Chains A and B, each alone.
Chain A
Amino acid sequence: MFSELQLGSSLILISFFAITIVIVDALFQKNKTVGFSYALFGFILTAVASAINLYQAPSLIIPLNSENLITKGMIVFGGYSSFFDILFCMGAILTMFASREYLKREYHEYTEFYSLLIFSVSGMMFIGHANNMLMIFVGIELMSIPFYILAGFIRTNFKSIEASLKYFLLGSFATGFLLYGIAMIYGATGSLGFTEISKSIASGINSTTILVIGIGLIIVGLSFKVAAFPFHQWAPDVYHGSPTIVTGFMSTAGKAAAILAFMIIARNLMPEKIVSGKFNFDTHTLQNIIAWISAGTMLVGNITALVQKNVKRMLAYSSVAHAGYLLMGIVANSQLGWQGITFYATAYLFMQIGAFVIVGLIERGEENNLNIEDYAGLSKSHPMLAAMMAMFMLSLAGIPPMAGFFGKYYLFAAAIKSGFTWLTIVAVIATIISMYFYISLIIQMYFKDRTEKELEIKTGLGLISLIICTIGVLLFGVFPSLLLDLTRQCFQLLG
Chain B
Amino acid sequence: MNLTPWLPFEWVVAFRFLKEGRIQTAFIITGISIGVAVIVFMSALLTGMQANFVNRVLTGQAHIQLLVHKEVVRPLYSEPGVFESHTLQMPLQRFKSIDQWQSVAVEVARIPEVNVVSPAISGSALLTRGEASRSVSVIGMIPEPYFKIIPLPEKMVHGQALVTSESILIGTELATDMGVGIGDKLRISTGNGSVNTLNVTGIFDLGNKGANSRNVFVAFRTAQSMFGLIGGASVLDLTLHDVYAAETVARQIERQTGLQADSWIKTNEQFFTAVKAQTTANTAIRLFVALSVGFGIASVLVVSVVQRSREIGILRAMGITRGQVLRVFLLQGGLLGFAGALVGASMGGAALVLWQKFQRNADGTVMFALTFDTQLLVQTLVLASLTGLLAAFAPALRAARLDPVVAIRG
The judgment on whether A and B are partners is: no
